[in-house]
Amino acid sequence: MLQRDSAADGAFVFAVRSTHIYCRPSCPARRPLRRNTLFFRTNEEAESFGYRPCRRCRPQEQDESTSLVRRATAILAQSTEESVGIGALAAQLQTSPAKLRRAFHRSTGLSPREFSQALRLVRLKKLLREGANITEALYECGYGSSSRLYEKTNSQLGMTPASYRKGGTGMRIGYTLLNTSLGKVLVAATERGVSAVYLGEGERSLVESLREEYPRAELFRAAGQEPWLQEIVRRVEGAPPSLDLPLDIQATVFQRRVWQELQRIPRGTTRTYTQVARALGKPRSVRAVARACATNPVSIVVPCHRVIRTDGSLAGYRWGLARKQKLLEREAASA
Ligand SMILES: [Zn+2]
């Protein structure tokens, strides 16, 4: 409730003695004093004690939202249209576009449009992994023509469909292991950009992680002459960026937005998960933001280490808390 975590919506509601209203846990309103707060399992329970539903967070719409999104998802998953307009979708569900938009925002943190894009990408990736013919897969997922798909997925998948096929079949990824003061760094890249930056001690486990991410790609040890290698090492040592690094990564729409937001955090500063969620205009998606940070494949380049908990503690880091701490200290010292 204190984090306004929408994942808790539906689990309970809280009521405020002084205002006689009750709210879902993610309500954006200011938090009441603890001594004025009561908790109930259900709306009915709160109402039986004389509390009225809040007009901002509309707890009574909870069940309706969930069922709307579930039904909308079923329609979108079946659809082979290039795009389903929110008006048409709302009409099919016998609701209003505004209500539908709110329902989506609440349960997924995305707009219906973003959600349907993400859904289509998931289906597309699945079909391609299963070995479907690319043209068939495209039509199946509602992309009008191959050229449009290539246009769209280039920015969303970070890979062309051909290279995404079957977990990276046909993709050539060169990796290099470098020594830094924070241990080994594995940098992997296609000819289009950097695909992975992992930190650790054991070369083998770093290479295995890469293989898990791209099980069917052709991985090879690169010559290690690329200019971005030294750039990444410099950044590990706390130096400011001196080169733009192109990325070639797989991401959902939401992950991409979070990672872009992380790249806006100035060196030497930190943000909390809550601040990042707010900056994205999705204050209730704190948990989803934390997940996106945890799954960032290109550490350092997407500086997920600059995100910390609201209480100032460092929270987790895929590559170890000690490394996160050092990175922050170095950046703060040289910023
Ligand atoms: Zn409320």
Catalytic site includes residue 57? no
Catalytic residue among 23, 27, 141, 293: 23
What's the gap in Å between 18 CA and the centre of ligand 1? 14
Distance (Å) from CA 235 to ligand 1 centroid: 44
Question: What single DSSP character describes residue 7?
Answer: G
- What is the predicted pLDDT for the residue at 135? 64
Distance between Cα 149 and ligand 1 center (Å): 41
* Each residue's pLDDT tens digit, 148-189: 555 444 444 444 444 454 566 667 899 999 999 999 999 998
In order of 117, 174, 248, the CA distances from 197 in angstroms are: 27, 12, 11
Query: How close is the Cα of 108 to the center of ligand 1, in Å?
Result: 19
Segment 82-113, tens digit of pLDDT? 667 888 888 888 889 898 888 888 777 778 88
Asked if 197 and 298 count as a contact pair (C-beta separation under 8 A), the reply is: yes
pLDDT per residue over 250-275, tens digit each? 767 788 889 889 988 988 999 999 99
Pull the structure tokens for residue 143. Answer: 């992309």
Ligand 1 midpoint to CA 52 (Å): 10
Give the environment of ion ligand 1: residues with CB less than 5 A: 23, 27, 29, 54, 56-57
Query: Distance from the CA of 46 to the center of ligand 1, in angstroms?
Result: 13
Q: How far is the CA of 16 from the centre of ligand 1 (A)?
A: 10
pLDDT, residue 155, reads 44
Query: Which of these is catalytic: 27, 141, 293, 304?
Result: 304
27 is catalytic: no
Q: Which of 5-19, 29-43, 167-181 has the highest mean pLDDT?
A: 29-43
Q: Which whole number is the average pLDDT over 70-88? A: 77
Task: Take residue 296 and report the two structure tokens written for it.
Answer: 């960032």
Neighbours of 297 (CB within 10 A): 24
User: What's the pLDDT score for residue 317?
Assistant: 87
CB proximity list for 272: less than 8 A, separation 6 or greater: 307, 308, 309, 310
CA 57 to CA 39: how far, in whole Å? 16
Residue type, 326: K
Determine the pLDDT at residue 248. 78
Read off the pLDDT of each residue in 34-53 and give the average, rounded to a whole number. 92
Helix, coil or strand: residue 281: coil
Other CB atoms within 10 A of residue 102 CB: 15
Q: What is the pLDDT of residue 85?
A: 80
**Which amino acid is residue 247, in one-letter code?**
L
